[in-house]
């Protein structure tokens, strides 16, 4: 089997790039003939089509990347197999996607979204995202690399560190976590809440809104926002520096940071919805808050990326759920349980580590990919 993998290559620290990089690494390590290339690099992709002549071209992205991941390989006589996440309403490309022999998606919830938006689902298979369980594993709190992170953040050894990581924090449920921390503040052990976000314009605006909420809640002095460019080499130590990983996300097709936190044997607080229904087991590997609210949209504005003129108003036949809000009271209860009970933190973390190693190690995901391709396409 000869595979060409299209993603944000060379890999940036983002989720889609990491998803592609780990598939490439996993396939290479299990002996598949595989090469990586940037999904937008038209000339380089054509070069690979000509001399490498891949059996399949796997493209990592979302439906809006169809021209790069699907149409370009097809126009050059190659077989595309997109591995997609969900990102908004699928307003275009349904016919092209339905015509493919195989589509991979990151969770059963993503498959539900695609079928909701007009795909038959007959050609869709679920393939979870891999995790580098060699890099993401438990470290002792006294490890100098871990201790240096807490020291740099100004967190005392006796303080409970709660962590959320994302492009921005609010989309990962940080505002709900802050409200929960405010409920617990008078009775909780000493704590600090760290939100590690990515530097970009929209994040700066969201940070201001989040910090304003923290001030209104009276907990701003306990909140730490860090907005720096970091590499994947840094992330295992940052996660190991925390005591609790909290990300009851508003929109989550898989939840890579939650998986990485589990790989580091950290207890995770999530939401009982979306991709986390696949990856986390409530009460065993994580604590999942109930859904308190579904945010519905009756109409949206579409543009050229969706096959319409700019500013096109599109009205749905039925209101669409665009994101979720976790129960603040559930989060508050789970935070108190974890803050007051070190044994519970250890137990959930150990079970999470075992589940990630068993189900999401990137080499096992690569083997599962090969099995799906052999079964569905007859390519070996």
pLDDT in tens, 351-379: 999 999 999 999 999 999 999 999 999 99
Confidence of residue 97 (pLDDT cuts 50, 70, 90): very high
User: In 3-state terms, what secondary structure has residue 81?
Assistant: strand
Mean pLDDT across the chain: 95
Check pLDDT > 90 for residue 38. yes
More confident residue, 86 or 330: 330
**Is residue 2 very low, low, confident or very high in pLDDT (cuts 50, 70, 90)?**
very high
- 38 φ, ψ (degrees, to nearest 5): -65, 135
What percent of the chain lies above the pLDDT cut of 90? 86
Token output for 121? 């689902």
| Edge-to-edge strand list for the sheet holding 124-126 | 33-38, 2-7, 56-62, 80-85, 103-105, 124-126
Assess whether pLDDT exceeds 90 at residue 35.
yes
The candidate with the shortest Cα–Cα distance to 124, out of 100, 104, 95, 97, is 104
Name the one residue in this structure whose structure tokens are 């974890």.
Answer: 338
* Residue ranges matching CATH 3.40.50.2000 in the chain: 2-130+361-377, 144-290+327-359
Check residue 190 and give its pLDDT: 98
Q: 358 and 262 in contact (C-beta within 8 Å)?
A: no
Task: Please report the pLDDT score of residue 23 as a whole number.
Answer: 98
pLDDT-derived band at 307 (thresholds 50, 70, 90) equals low
Residue 112 has pLDDT above 70, yes or no: yes
pLDDT higher than 80, residue 245: yes
Mean pLDDT, residues 63-92? 92
Tell me which DSSP letter residue 130 carries: P
With respect to CATH, is domain 2-130+361-377 assigned 1.25.40.10? no
Higher pLDDT residue, 52 or 93? 52
Predicted TM-score of the model (pTM): 0.95
Query: Taking 70 as the threshold, does the pLDDT of residue 298 lie above it?
Result: yes
At residue 87, the pLDDT reads: 78
Q: How far is CA 4 from CA 23, 24, 371, in A?
A: 11, 9, 17
For residue 286, pLDDT over 90 is answered with yes
For the residues 271-284, what does the mean pLDDT come to? 97
Are the beta carbons of 242 and 161 closer than 8 angstroms?
yes
pLDDT, position 237: 98
Give 221's contacts (C-beta < 8 A, 6+ positions apart): none
Please state the CATH superfamily assignment of the domain spanning residues 144-290+327-359 in this structure: Glycogen Phosphorylase B; (3.40.50.2000)
pLDDT for residue 105: 98
Find the radius of gyration of the CA atoms of the chain: 21
Categorize the per-residue pLDDT at 317 as very low, low, confident or very high, splitting at 50, 70 and 90: confident
Average pLDDT over residues 72-80: 98
Q: Which two tokens stand for residue 374?
A: 């052999």
Instruction: Give the model confidence (pLDDT) of 179-228 as tens digits.
Output: 999 999 999 999 999 999 998 888 888 989 999 999 999 999 999 999 98
**177 — pLDDT class (breaks 50, 70, 90):** very high
pLDDT tens digits for 193-204? 999 999 888 888
């Amino acid at each position: 089997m000869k595979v060409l993998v299209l993603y944000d290559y060379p890999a940036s620290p983002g989720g889609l790039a990491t998803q592609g990089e780990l598939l490439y690494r996993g396939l290479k390590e299990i002996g598949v003939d595989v090469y990586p290339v940037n999904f937008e690099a038209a000339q380089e992709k054509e070069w690979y089509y000509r001399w490498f002549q891949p059996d399949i071209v796997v493209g990592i992205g979302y439906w809006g990347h169809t021209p790069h991941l699907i149409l370009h390989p097809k126009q050059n006589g190659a077989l595309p197999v997109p591995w997609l996440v969900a990102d908004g309403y699928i307003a275009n490309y349904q016919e092209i996607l339905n015509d493919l022999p195989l589509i991979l998606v990151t969770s059963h919830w993503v498959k539900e979204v695609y079928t909701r938006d007009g795909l038959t689902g007959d050609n869709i298979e679920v393939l979870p995202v891999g995790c580098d369980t060699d890099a993401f594993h438990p470290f002792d709190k006294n490890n100098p690399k871990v201790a240096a992170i807490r020291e740099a953040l100004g967190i005392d050894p006796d303080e409970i560190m709660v962590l959320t990581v994302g492009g921005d924090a609010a989309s990962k449920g940080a505002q709900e976590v802050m409200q929960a921390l405010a409920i617990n503040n008078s009775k909780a052990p000493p704590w600090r809440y760290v939100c590690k976000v990515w530097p970009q314009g929209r994040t700066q605006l969201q940070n201001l809104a989040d910090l304003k909420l923290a001030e209104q809640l009276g907990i701003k002095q306990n909140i730490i926002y860090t907005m720096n460019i970091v590499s994947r080499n840094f992330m295992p130590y940052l996660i190991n520096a925390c005591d609790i990983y909290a990300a009851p996300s508003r929109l989550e097709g898989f939840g890579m940071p939650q998986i990485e936190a589990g790989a580091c044997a950290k207890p995770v607080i999530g939401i009982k919805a979306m991709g986390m229904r696949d990856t986390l087991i409530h009460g065993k590997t994580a604590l999942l808050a109930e859904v308190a609210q579904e945010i519905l949209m009756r109409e949206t504005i579409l543009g050229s990326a969706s096959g319409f003129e700019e500013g096109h108003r599109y009205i749905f036949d039925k209101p669409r759920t665009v994101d979720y809000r976790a129960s603040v009271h559930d989060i508050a209860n789970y935070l108190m349980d974890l803050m007051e009970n070190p044994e519970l933190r250890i137990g959930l973390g150990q079970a999470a580590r075992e589940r990630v190693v068993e189900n999401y190690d990137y080499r096992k995901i690569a083997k599962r990919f090969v099995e799906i391709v052999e079964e569905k396409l007859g390519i070996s």
